[in-house]
Structures are given as structure tokens and as C-alpha cells.
Structure 1
Amino acid sequence: MEIALTVLMVALVALLAAQLPGRAEQVRTAYRLGEIERRLRLVMDQLGVVDTSPLPSEVREHLARGDKIKAIAAYRKATGADLRSAKEAVETYGGQH
């Protein structure tokens, strides 16, 4: 009974591991996302649409209250950016809230 349970657990772990995206898939996904973003910028430029505040709403709310540290943390959580990038983004667009 224990052997069957162990084999079943190993098979389940193997199936779950097979579902995880590999490095090649992550690279393809990142490339596709970059292409989508590039094309969206082209469309927005063609239409004359300007995003005056690309910050997530939660970040803008923290900035409106004057809490820059929470704004940076919220930006990192929303975008997955590293600390330096989040700080630069908040400082760049922070004056536009």
C-alpha cells in the first residue's frame, strides 16, 4: 500500500513538473509580450492617444497621500519591477498624480 502511494505521489509530482513552463517557453512568452506592447504603442501613437499617468491606480492613491514608499511597494507588486525601476517610475510619474 505504501509503495503504491509513493508511486502515485511521484507520478503526480512528475505531472505537475511537466506542466511548468520551460525556459524556452518563458523566452517566447516574453518576446510575444514585448511585441504586443510595441504594437500597442504604435497604435496609440497613430491614434494620438497619450497615457498621461501609466502608474497603477493604487500607486497614484499612495502618491496623492504623499506616501512615496508605499507607492513604490505598490508599483513593485503590480508590475514585478525591481526596486530601482519602481523607484524611478514612481519618481518620474509621481509629480503627475
Structure 2
Amino acid sequence: MDVGLLLLSAAVLIGAVVLTATSGDRRIARLDRRLARVEQKLDAIAAGVGVELPEPELGHVKALLAEGKKIQAVRAYREATGADLKEAAQAIDQLGT
């Protein structure tokens, strides 16, 4: 009887953890969508009032890439632009070609 109760408790606990993780993933996805909409609106407002952001200086990034230091170039690109890892890696690949 005690083993059955223990197994049932473990199953309930595992179920609760799975539901919490799934709920958190959905919340993050919803926040990502909201952030993307806010960024689009901000871009539209900036364009409407004629505000242009200067392109980030990538001389240091290009120098690292020329030295064959791709990982450091990706890191420097992320710091200069605020891009995520995937975007930075793609940009470095394009700069390298």
C-alpha cells in the first residue's frame, strides 16, 4: 500500500512539473510574439518621424573574422548589434563569404 501511494505521488509530481514547463514555454512564446509586434510598431514610428539608427561599427568583427577567430567574431557581433546567437552566426557567415 505504501509503495502504491509513493508511486501515485511521484506520478502526480511529475505531471505537475511537465504541466508547469509546458505552461512556461507557452508564456515565453507569447511574450516573444508580443515583443516582435512592439518592435514592428517601434520601427514604424521611427520611420514615420525620420529617425534612423546608425549601423554598428563592425571593423573589430571583420578583423577577428580575417584572423580566423570566428567564435570571437560572433561574440563581438552580438555585443555590437544585440543579435541573438543564431542571427550573429548567420551574419558572420555572410561576412565571411
Q: What are the within-5 Å matches in structure 2 for residues 71-90 of structure 1?
A: 71-72=73-74, 74=75, 75=78, 79-81=84-86, 85-90=87-92
Deviation at 1:49, TM superposition (A): 4.2
Matched residues, percent identical? 17
Q: Look up the match of 1:21.
A: 23
Structure 2 portions without partners, runs of 5+: none
Structure 1 portions without partners, runs of 5+: none
How many residue pairs align between the two structures?
Answer: 82
Q: Look up the match of 2:6.
A: 5
CA deviations 1:3-47 (Å, max 9, x no partner) are 222222211111121121388766644432221110121233336
Q: What are the within-5 Å matches in structure 2 for residues 50-69 of structure 1?
A: 50-53=53-56, 63=61, 66-67=64-65, 68-69=69-70
Q: What is the distance in 2 between the residues matched to 1:91 and 1:51?
A: 22
- Point out the structure with max Rg over C-alpha: 2
- TM-score normalised by length of structure 1: 0.52
